[in-house]
Chain A
Amino acid sequence: MKNFLMLCVSGLMALQAQAQFRVEVSGVGMTQIPIAISAFRGDEQAPQKIAAIVQADLERSGQFKGIDAVSGLDESSRPDLSGTRQRGADALVAGSVTRLADGRFDVRFRLWDTVRNQDLGGQSHAVLAGDLRLAAHRIADFVYERMTGDKGVFSTRISYVTKAGNSYNLWVADADGENAQSALSSPEPIISPSWAPNGNQLAYVSFEARKPVVYVHDVATGRRRLVASFKGSNSAPTWSPDGRSIALTLSRDGGSQLYVMDANGGEPKRLMQSSAIDTEPVYTPDGRTIYFVSDRGGSPQIYRVPAAGGNAERVTFSGSYNISPALSPDGKWLAYVSRVNGAFKLHVMEIASGSVSAITETTADENPSFSPNSRLIIYATLLQGREALMTTTLDGRIKARLAGQSGDIREPDWGPVQK
C-alpha cells in the first residue's frame, strides 16, 4: 500500500456534524478534473449540506478533485472565473438552498467552466427535506455529465445487507450508502440481493423458512413473492436484462445446478447437466450469455454458456479459486474474487484481451457489482476486522468506504439508472 493518501473530502467537511466518508487515492499522475464547489447559500440552515454531498459524490467517482472555493457565491453570482482558474479549478459550482413557505426546499445551482470561461447551465429542484440528498446527487450527476460526457450514477440506489447480533436487514440506500431504508428485517440470514433491471424489485435469498428460498420484493410497496422454494436449496438469483427471467441455483435434482425461470414464478428450466457445483449465474448485457462459477474442473472457476443452453467455456485460468463474477453494463469488464495466497481479492478482467488486474489491498473481498455507467465497482470487504462496503474505480486507484451503517455490512448490489 504505497503512498496512500487519506483525503478528507473537503474543507467543508470540518464544519459538518458527521463526516460523509473518506476517499483514498493511490498512485500519482492521475487525470482528475479540479473543481471548486462553493458552500451553497443557506447550507448552514438546511438539514443537508448540499455542497459537501456534491463534492463527495464527484470525488468518489475518481474523476474529480475538490479545490477550495471562495465563499459567498450562489447560482446568480457573476463569479471571478479567471481567479478561480488561477487557484487551480477547471470548474466552479455555486448554488443556494432556500426554505419555501410550504416547507419544501428550493435547491438551485449553476456550473461554470473556468477554462473556456463558459456558463454550463444550472437547475432548480423543489424538494421535501427528505429528498435534499437526492437533489444533491442529481446536481452531482449534472456536473459529472457536463464535464465528462459520461452518464452520472450518483442518484442511483444500492442494496445491501447488515447483520447486528441475530438481526439481519436488507437495505435500499442512495449510491453513497446514505439515506438507507430497510426493505426487510429477519432473524435469519439474507444474502444475494439482485436488482431487477427496472430498479423496482429486488430478488434475494432468505433463510427465514430455515432453508434458502428466493423472494422477489417490490421496493416501493414492500410486497413480496416467493418465487423459488423447491426441495433443497434455492439461491443465487439474477435477472435477465429484459427483466422477464431469473436465473438461479437449485439443488432440487441433487447438487447445485443452474436453472432459468419466469420472474413471476413457475416451472424452472434446467440450463445444463453437470455433476459438479454450478452457481452464481449472471447475464451478459445482451442477454445471450450466462457467466457462472463451476468446480467441474476440480476447483471453482468462472465459465460462460449460451443463455439458451449449450457448451460451457472456461473464462478464468489463473488461480485455484475464482468466484462471484460480475459483468459491467457496457459488456467490457468482468469483476470477480480470486483467492491469492489465502487472501480473497477483487480482480478485474478486460474481457476482450483477457488481461487481469488485482485492484485492492484488502484480503477478504466479496461480491463485486458494477455501477450502471461501468466506471465503479462496489464490493464488500473486511476493514480492521469489520465488514465494510467500498467503491473503487476499475483501475483500483480511487477507493471510498461507504458510510451509513455501523456494524457488519455486506452483499452490495448496485441498482440501475431509473427512467
Chain B
Amino acid sequence: MKKLVLIVSVAAVLSACGSAVKLDNVPVEDKSGQAVSANGAAGNAGDGSGVAKSNVTSVALDKNAQDPALSAALKTVYFDYDSFVIRAEFQPTLEAHAKYLKADKSRKVNIEGHTDERGGREYNLALGQKRAEAVRKALQVQGVADSQMEAISYGKEKPAVLGNSESALEKNRRAEFSYR
C-alpha cells in the first residue's frame, strides 16, 4: 500500500507540474528535456514528503526519464466546460503518446477521464468516461492498438486541484495518461 500511495503522490506531483507548464509554448522537440527536469522535481518532492523510497518507485522514475511520452508536460489533456472535444493545442500530446505506444507494443496506458466537481457523481463518472473515450479514439485513429489502451473514468472523485474557483474547475476537467 505504501508503494501505491507513493506512486499516487508522485503522479499528483507530476500532474501539478504538468498544469504549471504552458503547453502551447513547449516545442515538441524539447520533450525529453522537459521530462528530465520534471522527474527531478518529482523526485525531490517525494523525498520532501518523508515517504520511504522503494525500489519500485525509483524504477518507475528511471523509466519516466527514458520515456518522452511520460513527460509531465504531456501527461494531461484539458477540456472546456461540458466538452469532450480535444483542443488543437493538445494534438502534439496525442501524437507523442501515439508514437510512443506504436514504437513499444508492450506498453499499456490507462486514459483516465476526470470532471470538475459540479453535479452528480455517477453522471460525472460517465462524463469523464466520454473524455477518456475521446482521447482513446484519437489515439486509435493514429494507429495505436486497442489492446494497449483502456479508457476509464474517475468522474469528480479525484480533482487535480481543490476548490471551486474557475481556474480549479478548469484544471480538473481533464484526461490523464497513466502508464502501467
Contacts and interface: CB of A to CB of B under 8 A. Distances in A.
B130 A277 contact: yes
A189 B154 contact: yes
Nearest to A211: B152
Contacts of B121: 191-192, 366-367, 410-411
Contact of A280 (B123, B127, B155): B123
A367 B156 CA distance: 14
Contacts of B1: 187
Nearest to A337: B120
Interface in A312-354: 321, 323-324, 337, 339, 344
A233 interface: yes
A280 B122 contact: yes
Nearest to A209: B152
Nearest to A236: B122
A207 interface: yes
A205 B178 CA distance: 20
Contact of A256 (B5, B129, B150, B154): B129
Interface residues of A, number: 35
Q: Which of B5, B119, B126, B158 has the most CB of A within 10 A?
A: B126
A279 B150 contact: no
Interface stretch (A1-9, A57-65, A150-158, A247-255): A247-255
A210 interface: yes
Contact of B150 (A187, A191, A211): A211
Given A251-B129, A255-B130, A339 B119 contact: yes
B125 interface: yes
Nearest to B149: A231
Interface in B141-176: 150-155, 157-158
A235 interface: yes
A233 B151 CA distance: 8
Given A189-B154, A233-B153, A279 B123 contact: yes
B133 interface: yes
Chain B: number of interface residues, binned into ranges: 20 to 34
A191 B121 CA distance: 8
Q: Which of A191, A251, A366 has the most CB of B within 10 A?
A: A251
Contact of A187 (B5, B125, B157): B5
A212 interface: yes
A233 B125 CA distance: 8
A76 to B, nearest CB: 52
A232 B122 contact: no
Contacts of B133: 251, 254-255
A235 B103 CA distance: 33
A300 interface: yes
Contacts of A255: 129-130, 133
B110 interface: yes
B8 to A, nearest CB: 8
Given A256-B130, A277-B130, A235 B151 contact: no
A411 B120 CA distance: 10
A382 B167 CA distance: 21
A211 B150 CA distance: 10
Contact of B120 (A251, A256, A323): A323
Contacts of B153: 212, 233, 251
B20 interface: no
A210 B123 contact: no
19 contacts: A191-B121, A210-B110, A210-B178, A212-B154, A233-B125, A235-B125, A249-B122, A251-B151, A254-B133, A255-B129, A256-B129, A277-B127, A280-B120, A280-B123, A293-B122, A323-B122, A324-B120, A324-B123, A366-B121
Interface of B: 1, 4-5, 8, 110, 118-123, 125-127, 129-130, 133, 150-155, 157-158, 178
Which 8 residue pairs of A and B lie closest in terms of their CB atoms, listed nearest first? A189-B157, A256-B126, A211-B152, A277-B126, A323-B120, A279-B126, A323-B123, A233-B153
